[in-house]
A and B are shown apart, each in its own frame.
Chain A
Amino acid sequence: MAMTRREAFKKLAKGSLPILAAGCVSTALPEVAHAEEEKRAPKGALGLLYDATKCVGCKSCMVACSQANDLKPDTRIDGIHQAPPALNYFTKNIIKLYRTADGSDHSYFKQQCMHCIDPGCMNACMFGGLRKDEETGVVWWLGSKCVGCRYCEIACPFHIPAFQWDGFNPKIVKCELCREHIAKGAKQPGCTEVCPTQAVIYGKREDLLNEAKRRIAANPGKYYQQRVFGEHDAGGTQVLYLSRVGFDKIGLPDVGEESIPSGLKYSHAVYKWLALPVALYAGMVAFASKNFKQHSHHLVEDQKKTGLRPQL
């Protein structure tokens, strides 16, 4: 039987559908098995090492941070600046105190952006308003690409990005490792520059990690779990922590070793090359076309019977 070109094309399309679908699944599945390749820190990755056992809680790093970043005092409530209770859009860096009720145990701790190797905030951001410097790995905010959706606040396991809740032109405020301050000629970030006890130091992540491990080896039993927080946590961070008390006590949640974005690996596999959605679309159109033809036929029949105009 002769076949028109149209029919031949149709048959070809129908026949190839299951093959296409199978192809998608088979290409997608190994992807899941391999997961997405673990992200590594850039070669020149910069970071901080904060040793909570050395911190005396003087908060001079908070003042230095505000100066280096030109942050205004937070005078929202009564016109008087007071110590901020948490990171907010006036505060990129904060020192807090953990203390048990009976005073038997305490530790100061510092909070600022962890500069994750595979940041959740960056993965969440729609148009790349949050980006990671290719050389230094510093995570920074680009206002012209930010829609203000605040998904970064949901996606950050350390609760770092702060949204400016006032005004018509809000910004996302977080530690950017003083990248502008350093670009202007400073040797190091405000916080490390002024720290009187060297509790927080600045440098390449590699060197800082070695230094942290050296301290652990030199002081057996001093540090919690004998490990550096940030070496592997959340897929690795560029800001590293040493502590005597539990990490969970000083604002570092147990987030596991997988990075936040890796939670989406299954979803990404489904969307690989858009193949599955396209196959699904083609399948649905094929069935819908057949049923639509049938339905249109019924509509015409009905019109003959009732004399009423058919409705789609």
Chain B
Amino acid sequence: MTRWERSVPVYGVPVLTRGFWALLALIVVGLALTVVREVVGLGGLMSGMSDPFAWGLWKTFNVMVLTGLGSGGFAVGIAAWVFNNKKLHSVMRVALITSCLAYWTGLCMLGVDVGRPWNFYWVVMPWTWNLHSPLLEIAVCMSLYASVPLFLENLPPLFEYIIYEWPQWRGVAEFCEKAMAKVYPFIIGLAYILPIMHQSSLGALMILGGNRVNTLWQTPFLPLIYVWAAGFLGYNCVVLCLLLAKLAWKRDVDPEVMLELNKLTVWIVYAWTAFRFLDILFRGKFFHLFTDGYYSILFWTETALILGSAYVLSTEKGKKLGTMFLAHAVCALGGMIYRFSPTTLAFHAKDGATYFPSAIELIISLSFVSIAVLAYMVAVKKLAILPGSNEDWLKMAKYEEQVKLGIQLTGYVPVEH
């Protein structure tokens, strides 16, 4: 049984693997298609969007779903720093980097999706803002979050890298580290309030969709339910990343931390589901749960996937890593479907218009996801992000010292502060 005591880079594996090149190829193709999209517009083969179905995959999946999945940074962070759950500090770096990558690729995707991106510069002129617009709130809060608090939170592993690998810059990095420690609580406070605001506004967006969003989803509490779903999606994502690291690089798992993550996921899901049912009940839409045909089935599918996997996690079986992995994957799938529903699956467009993404749309969307995955794969190999034990750290240091003999190295082990 291992205890996670500090973050340790993945060592002894090449960065330039076959997967790396495959992802890179997809990214290159996607970016080339993005250039074409900017020239010819969004119509025709470029996307499946139309006037009745004006929002497609790029907004609804890359932004609404994936930033939900990348909510670990604040969901785990609040438990760790505000509610003082000490066990969770060891996984914070994983949570933060997934958030950072999900948000940045989402924001870039947003830039590709909108038709007149050059007009986005108004965002720095507050007097032009329409404060009634939920989308304005998202545009401001999301870019602010991704570029300030989330960015700063992700710097410590980089400082460490500089300290160990570029000794000539060590003084600067240490100075920055100390400066950051002084204001850290203020940064993380910002890193929690901003996502709470914009993740809920993502839900508020569809309130303006009115009765085109099916009544099982359309509620004044849509913002709250949306940000709440981001909560458990963040946990799902962190757990999946940790378990994938075990699968891919044989990283040991700290069962205590994993069980803590499970426990929190389960409670967030239970409370979320209960709130959703209460909301439907109090709005007097109980019978829609059974009489709305396709929509009822969709609702129960979401609920079954999310609630079922949370139940499995709460049982003894959920402690086995294989089952845990599956349960979190299924839970994440359910949560992603939920976040996808109000805009797409439970959205009945004018004249029964339907939407299906075009091949090009899908490739561009996946290529932006690939950017995040690729960056993650490189980051965990270069930086101390995935959690490990002190022993792992010492082993890594020994290995690195052997391999990098030629490089001027100050040594990983004892660095005086």
Contact = CB atoms under 8 A, between A and B. Distances in A.
A123 interface: yes
Nearest to B51: A162
A64 interface: no
Given A120-B208, A159-B52, A312 B189 contact: no
B139 interface: yes
Interface in A159-196: 159, 161-170
A287 B44 CA distance: 53
Given A159-B51, A260-B208, A146 B116 contact: yes
A139 B209 CA distance: 19
Nearest to A168: B39
Interface residues of A, number: 69
Contact of B186 (A151, A166, A264, A285): A285
A154 B82 contact: no
A128 B131 CA distance: 10
B243 interface: no
A288 B82 contact: yes
Interface in A43-98: 86-88
B364 to A, nearest CB: 16
A145 B55 contact: no
A125 B114 contact: no
Contacts of B39: 168
A312 B115 contact: no
Contacts of B84: 287, 291, 294
B119 A87 contact: no
Given A148-B117, A151-B205, A155-B208, A168 B133 contact: no
Interface string A119-143: 0101111111100000000000001
Contact of A281 (B163, B177, B190): B190
A165 B44 contact: yes
Contact of B209 (A155, A295, A296): A155
B41 interface: yes
Contact of A154 (B40, B208, B415, B417): B208
Contacts of A162: 51
B129 interface: yes
B210 A263 contact: yes
Given A123-B208, A128-B128, A312 B114 contact: no
A128 B129 CA distance: 7
A154 B209 contact: yes
A238 to B, nearest CB: 19
A157 B210 contact: yes
Interface stretch (B192-200, B286-294, B300-308): B192-200
Contacts of A266: 220
Given A159-B51, A264-B134, A288-B82, A255 B211 contact: yes
Given A281-B190, A285-B185, A145 B210 contact: no
B38 A124 contact: no
A182 B38 CA distance: 35
A149 interface: yes
17 contacts: A86-B51, A86-B351, A87-B51, A120-B208, A126-B122, A127-B129, A143-B116, A147-B120, A147-B122, A163-B42, A163-B54, A165-B49, A168-B39, A264-B132, A264-B207, A288-B188, A312-B181
Interface of B: 5-7, 38-44, 49-52, 54-55, 78, 81-84, 86, 89, 113-117, 119-120, 122-123, 128-130, 132-137, 139, 156, 160, 163, 177, 180-181, 184-186, 188-190, 192-193, 196-197, 200-201, 204-212, 220, 223, 350-351, 384, 390, 393, 413-415, 417
Given A127-B123, A147-B120, A149-B115, 18 more contacts: A87-B51, A123-B130, A125-B130, A126-B122, A126-B123, A127-B128, A145-B128, A146-B116, A151-B208, A154-B54, A165-B43, A166-B44, A170-B42, A255-B210, A260-B208, A266-B220, A267-B134, A267-B200
Q: Please provide the 9 A-B residue pairs with the shortest distance between their CB atoms, ordered closest to farther.
A: A148-B115, A165-B43, A285-B189, A148-B116, A153-B54, A170-B115, A155-B208, A150-B54, A289-B185
